[in-house]
Structure 1
Amino acid sequence: MSESGLVHVDLNDSIGALQIGLLFSIFVFGIVTLQAHMYYGTFRDDRWTYKALVAAIWLLEVGHTIAGSYEVYRATITLYGRPELLTTFPALSAGIAVAGAITFLVQGFFSIRLFKVLPRPYSFIGIACISVSGLRFIGSIYLSYRAVTTKSVEQYRREMTWLVTTLLTAGATIDVTIAVSMLYYLSKKRSQAFERIASVIDRLIAYTIRTGLLTSVGAVVLLICYQAMPDNLVWLAMYTCLAKLYSNSLLSSLNSRQELREDSTTSMPSFERFSRRTTTRREHNTRLDLAPPQPIAIEMKTTMETAQDDSVGKVRITVDSVPSPAYRNDTKV
């Protein structure tokens, strides 16, 4: 407290950090919106569960973005000149549950994919990941309730540090487990694949690293900021962006299927041409084997001329025989 009795608040690492975090969050939300638009335009015939998942993710992101925008407006406009009153963030506190729902949907999607891809008994890694993610979602709902009802951010940090640390650690662990499991499976398949198929698997490995490790690194960095800088709001600013990293990873994974299909089609032209040639030859031989024998048509053309020789009194007969070609499609006798 200063000599005049006013509370000194550093706006750079509090409201300033929150504003920068919101700007970056809105930017990532624009990417999420573009990804959703590309998905619905490209995969019109996709299954309804995927379409509903993308719609749910986007609607949750809209609510999460509105919550962050409201808090920045409240801090810079409503409470302008009174930073000492900025002790709670009710909208962002409710957004904790929204972010938990987004994280659960994304991690559940990748966990189910892991369960379908991996052979037994490794496929149960996916079941374990989605179970832990469900418990994490329940914990985020309780965390959101405590954040809404708390009297100050400092009290919230003091009482809920253990739960926040547990949830962030669990989220990072799930992301790393999913990414490492997919990388191990794809690397094993790559050693057994042809050279052309290996290039497609390399692309899958790159997508796995890009989508899985990005969210895990974000969760780890958020956890470090939360533990190392408890007296500012840098960790809260980073938290506004973490959920959008999960959404972007899911939509990027869905949209990358079209590019992977094109790569898999163009990476094996020789096999396709060989298949076409083999099929054409087999069909040609089959047509020859099943076709009935063509009859040989021989056409005899006979011309008779009869002329009366008045001087001799005899009859002259001339016969011309002209054979037709040996093979014809029509039959004439």
Structure 2
Amino acid sequence: MSSAIPADISVLTGPVLFADLVNWGLFGALTVQVYLYYISFPQDKPLIKAVVYTTYSIEVVQTALATREAFRILAIGWGNPDVLVTVGWLGITIPCLVSVLTWISQMFYAWRIWILRRTLWLPIIIAMLSLTQMICGLISGIHIQLIGILAEVEARTSKTTTVRLVCALVCDVVIATSMLQFLYGTRNTAMQRTQNIVSRLIKLTFETGLILMLVAVIDLTFFLAFPQNNFFYAPSMSLSKLYSNAMLVMLNVRIEVVGGRSKNPRVDVELSDATISTSLPMPTPYVPGSTPKASLTFDG
């Protein structure tokens, strides 16, 4: 262990601070998404609720461990150069938990694709790619914890990390392509009242898929190109939150705001094998001397 403070200390501590700030920001967005889901869709299937709340619970653990690592490096280990070269809980925080959360999100999309398209070959491909990335993530996490030295992580885990990120990237491409193809076909044959939400789903699918693929590419590039610093921290740390937020956004897209700018007061959304209808009453004109009333009904 070196006792001298490295000259490039900012490339070791800066990414850790930035990653923790981004991680907490995305966790705050996820918390809002989960709350909106909780109050808006109490009639969803138990399986969907289990996926949402299990994902959030694991994200709480991941955020706590990531914060603990940032506190260890930037507070407890302040002025101690040895802290900068040890991995701490890095193997658990990023490869293990991130790969598990990625697997949950991608398997949820595989289930949705099977429900919507009634074909098995696409979900099987997605499941195999997602399972491969999770296994590689768990192997990488265990190796990182056993290695213990940050400088040796890239050299000894580059293969499993590369396979994990490439499999996740290809899986995202398959999911996005399949969803976009189905949604475009649905929009062309859908009733007028469903076209608005289908268009929103198309936009969200494209945007979230593009963001996830871009972050995965940046993560892999930083990990392989800069093995002696912590540039990979921020994209690696944010991947799980991006997957979780993308999944919740796709679920919460069914929410309609009373008195908003939407021209469709009623929207039918096929979430699973049953159709979930959200009924939004039109506002009643106010009559002087009467008591104004407001109501919001969800038909499940």
TM-score (ref. length: structure 2): 0.80
1:248 corresponds to = 245
Inter-partner Cα distance in structure 1 for 2:247 and 2:191:
29
Is the 8 Å Cα contact of residues 154 and 224 (structure 2) preserved in structure 1? no
For the pair 1:235 / 2:232, whether they are aligned, the reply is yes
Q: How far apart, CA to CA, are the structure 1 residues paired with 2:131 and 2:256?
A: 32
Cα distance in structure 1, aligned partners of 2:267 and 2:130 = 37
**Using CA pairs below 8 Å that are at least 6 residues apart, which structure has the higher relative contact order?**
2
How far apart are 1:119 and its partner, in Å? Answer: 4.8
Write the deviation string for residues 256-311 of structure 1: whole angstroms up to 9, x where unpaired.
12339x8765589xxxxxxxxxxxxxxxxxxxxxxxxxxxxxxxxxxxxxxxxxxx
Instruction: Find out whether 1:116 has 2:115 as its counterpart.
Output: yes
Aligned CA distance change for structure 1 residues 267 and 108 (closer, same or farther; 3 Å): closer
Q: Is the 8 A contact 1:87 1:152 kept in 2?
A: yes
Equivalent-residue separation in structure 2 for 1:153 and 1:43 (angstroms) = 44
Alignment of 1:132-211 (within 5 A): 132-193=129-190, 197-211=194-208
The reply to whether residue 39 of structure 1 matches residue 43 of structure 2 is no
Residues matched between the structures, number? 263
The answer as to whether partners of 2:24 and 2:63 remain within 8 angstroms in 1 is yes
Q: Is the 8 A contact 1:211 1:253 kept in 2?
A: no
Q: 1:9 to 1:108 in 2, by over 3 A?
A: farther
What amino acid is aligned across from residue 210 of structure 1 in structure 2? E
Normalising to structure 1: TM-score of the pair?
0.73
By how many angstroms is 1:64 displaced?
0.6
State the superposition RMSD in angstroms.
Answer: 2.4
Report 1:315-330 matches (<5 A): none
Mark the structure with the bigger radius of gyration.
1
Moved over 6 A (4+): none
Identify which of 9, 27, 30 aligns with 1:29. 27
Q: Partner residue of 1:13?
A: 11
Identity of aligned residues (%): 27
The answer on whether the counterparts of 1:93 and 1:144 sit within 8 Å (CA) in structure 2 is yes
1:7, distance to aligned residue in structure 2 (A): 4.8
CA–CA distance in 1 between the matches of 2:194 and 2:5?
Answer: 65
Structure 1: tracts of 5 or more residues without a match: 269-333
CA gap 1:195/1:138 in 2 versus in 1, 3 angstroms: same
Query: Whole-Å Cα distance in 2 between the matches of residues 195 and 33 of structure 1?
Result: 33
Superposed displacement of residue 182, structure 1: 1.1
Q: Deviations over 1:100-158 (max 9, x none)?
A: 111110000001111222254xx411221012211221221111110111031221211
Separation (CA, whole Å) in 2 of partners of 1:146 and 1:118: 39
8 Å contact 1:75–1:83 — kept in the other structure?
no
Partner residue in 2 for 1:322: none
Q: Which residue of 1 aligns with 2:55?
A: 57
